[in-house]
Amino acid sequence: MKTIRVGSRESKLAVIQSELVMDAIRASHPDVALELVTMKTTGDKILDRTLDKIGGKGLFVKELDAALLDGRADLTVHSCKDLPMEENPDIPLAGFSRREDPRDVLVLPEGVTELDKSKPIGCASARRAVQLKELFPDMETAPVRGNVLTRLRKLDEGQFSALVLAAAGLKRLGLEGRITRYFTVEEMIPAAGQGILALQARAGEDLSFLSQVLDEEGTLCARAERAFVRRLDGGCSSPIAAHAVLSGGEITITGLYVNEDGAAIRRTVTGPRDQGENLAETLADEIKEVCPCPEK
């Protein structure tokens, strides 16, 4: 019997997400044996600084990539929004899952019903912080690191008036009841790939066992959103967001870029669903013309 070793971060959410993938593989390919291999990544270890200060999203995948390359893992499962935008051709992305709820949500401390304006709203990204300033102009924001359960503990201990988290993570953890308010994707444009799981494997491997895991709509949306960010991120460290929606034969992509003055620029484009990546790059180029990225 073929054994597939599935690499995952060791957080509870990461393990749940990997197990969702493993359950789907078992259901469609009962002849495949599965083994979960968990590890702590650099991004999980360094919690006293924001990601942009310590090297970015790649710190959540470095150890998992190494495990793929040296054969300790055959498949790795990631939250798509945590992945760097550039792919290593030796360990390309095999595809993407069906999308869970892509929205961001507001979470108040246990038993609290109103925002305490004397404390900041905790959020883990500049993308969220910028959009929160528009929604709550009289509230401060502050960075919060750690996995979802760690952040919730900090919230309930009184360090923050509220948190902004991804709905998908809370739902997968069975914590949907903690959600106070859902932000629409227009109010708070999500991170590229939010709610989607990304699967990565060594180049040239037989991945037919993923036939019931990979999702066409999730893949089209994720690739379009990632293309938008990749196009803008070449020389920028500014907040960027992207969200794609499919309707019939069309894809609509909404992009957000924040200029050096802190102003949020939003643009939307619609076109054929199979042209998502090209449309996203064109949208990014339009935004660059309005607000060029500063040179590194």
**Which of the residues are catalytic?**
82
HSE value, Cβ hemisphere, 13 Å, CA-based, for 292 = 3
What is the distance between the alpha carbons of residues 101 and 263, in angstroms, rounded to a whole number?
A: 27
Residue 71: partners with Cβ closer than 8 Å, 6 or more residues away = none
DSSP 48: S
Q: Residue 54 in contact with residue 22, Cβ under 8 Å? A: no
Q: Are 49 and 146 in contact (CB under 8 A)?
A: no
Pick from 288, 294, 221: which is nearest to 252 by CA?
Answer: 221
Tell me phi and psi for residue 63, to 5 degrees.
-70, -35
SS3 (DSSP) at 248: coil
DSSP codes joined into one string, 198-239: EEEE-TT---GGGTTT--HHHHHHHHHHHHHHHHHTTS--S-
- What residues are paired with 33 via a beta bridge? 3
Q: How far is CA 242 from CA 186, 194, 212, 282, 285, in A?
A: 11, 9, 26, 13, 14
DSSP state, residue 81: G
DSSP string, 131-200: HHHHH-TT--EEE--S-HHHHHHHHHTTS-SEEEEEHHHHHHTT-GGG--EEPPTTTSPPPTTTT-EEEE
